């Protein structure tokens, strides 16, 4: 089950956190994984760790918010392998604020990474996927792409857009052999959450509150999100497209 031998994958934002766990998990299942990140040191570290574990990976430096970088990444991978089977659009950034404390520059900054980057990178890879009649696209959204989260107006706005983008690609290209799905994590212990906590006056209190939003009373682990990505990437999920899969410890169960 979940054999990705011979598949070529690109995971953005895989120098840390959820993306790092997805890169390791897909590589363990046999895929050649491109570790895509704006952070060269961490991206190279993750690729080296995957190789040290006996699997196949390469680092590719890219800022998804720069269209040229997206096109360059597609050329590099297509020139080397003639294809990309699995695109995991995972790079994302956060922000704390209501409409009163968020300005339009904050919104644009989040939009350029969380949405436009995903749009541009998918646009760069999808023609070849259509030509080959095969492609799996996995977009990291958030539970904040399905429900409002207090104090996260810019973030939730972009993540609702990610869910919409994913569903449109799934519908438009279902007959082209392409599956597109979103993953909607609850809170997961990563650098992303640690830097949000640092924005609160009492980070310890904020940590407890954030843990308690999950019905099971704790935050998730990156590996628990990566397991869902592995399933969606595999041919076992051949009948799954256009979904927004919640992996959130029961956050939304009572709503």
User: What residues are annotated to the active site?
Assistant: 155
CA–CA gap between residue 13 and residue 22 (Å, rounded): 10
Could you tell me if 163 and 157 are in contact, meaning their C-beta atoms sit under 8 angstroms apart?
no
- Give the contact letters, 228-247, x = binds to ligand NAD (CB under 6 A), - = no: --------------------
CA–CA gap between residue 127 and residue 1 (Å, rounded): 29
93 contacts ligand NAD (rule: CB under 6 A): yes
Backbone angles phi, psi at 12, to 5 degrees: -85, 155
Partners of 57 in the β-ladder: 33
Among 24, 57, 165, 185, binds ligand NAD (CB under 6 A): 185
Residue 92: how many other CB atoms lie within 10 Å: 26
Q: Alpha-carbon torsion 79, 87, 22, 112, what sign?
A: positive
Q: Which stretch binds ligand NAD (CB under 6 A): 70-78, 128-136, 182-190, 199-207?
A: 182-190
139 contacts ligand NAD (rule: CB under 6 A): no
166 contacts ligand NAD (rule: CB under 6 A): no
- Give the contact letters, 7-46, x = binds to ligand NAD (CB under 6 A), - = no: -----xx-xxxxx-----------------xxx--x----
Kind and range of the H or E element at 152?
Answer: none
Residue in 57, 150, 167 with CA at minimum distance from that of residue 102: 150
Among 48, 68, 191, 199, binds ligand NAD (CB under 6 A): 191
Binding site for ligand NAD (CB under 6 A): 12-13, 15-19, 37-39, 42, 62-65, 90-93, 113, 117, 140, 142, 185, 187-188, 190-193
């Amino acid at each position: 089950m979940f054999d990705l031998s011979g598949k070529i994958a690109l995971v953005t934002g895989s120098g840390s956190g959820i993306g790092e766990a997805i890169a390791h998990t897909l590589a363990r299942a046999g895929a050649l994984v491109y570790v895509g990140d704006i952070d060269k040191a961490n991206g190279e570290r993750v690729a080296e760790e995957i190789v040290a574990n006996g699997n196949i990976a390469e680092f590719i430096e890219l800022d998804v918010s720069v269209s040229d970088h997206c096109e360059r990444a597609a050329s590099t991978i297509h020139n080397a392998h003639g294809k990309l089977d699995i695109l995991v659009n995972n790079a994302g950034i956060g922000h704390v604020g209501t409409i009163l404390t968020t300005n339009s520059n904050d919104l644009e900054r989040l939009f350029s990474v969380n949405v436009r980057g995903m749009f541009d990178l998918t646009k760069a890879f999808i023609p070849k996927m259509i030509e080959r009649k095969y492609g799996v696209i996995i977009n990291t959204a958030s539970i904040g792409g399905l429900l409002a989260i207090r104090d996260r107006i810019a973030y939730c706005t972009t993540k609702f857009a990610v869910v919409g983008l994913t569903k449109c690609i799934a519908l438009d290209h279902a007959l082209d052999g392409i599956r597109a799905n979103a993953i909607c994590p609850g809170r997961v212990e990563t650098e992303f959450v640690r830097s949000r906590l640092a924005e609160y006056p009492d980070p310890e209190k904020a940590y407890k509150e954030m843990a308690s939003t999950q019905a099971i009373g704790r935050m998730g682990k990156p590996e628990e999100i990566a397991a869902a990505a592995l399933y969606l990437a595999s041919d076992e999920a051949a009948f799954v497209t256009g979904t927004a899969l919640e992996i959130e410890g029961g956050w939304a169960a009572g709503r």
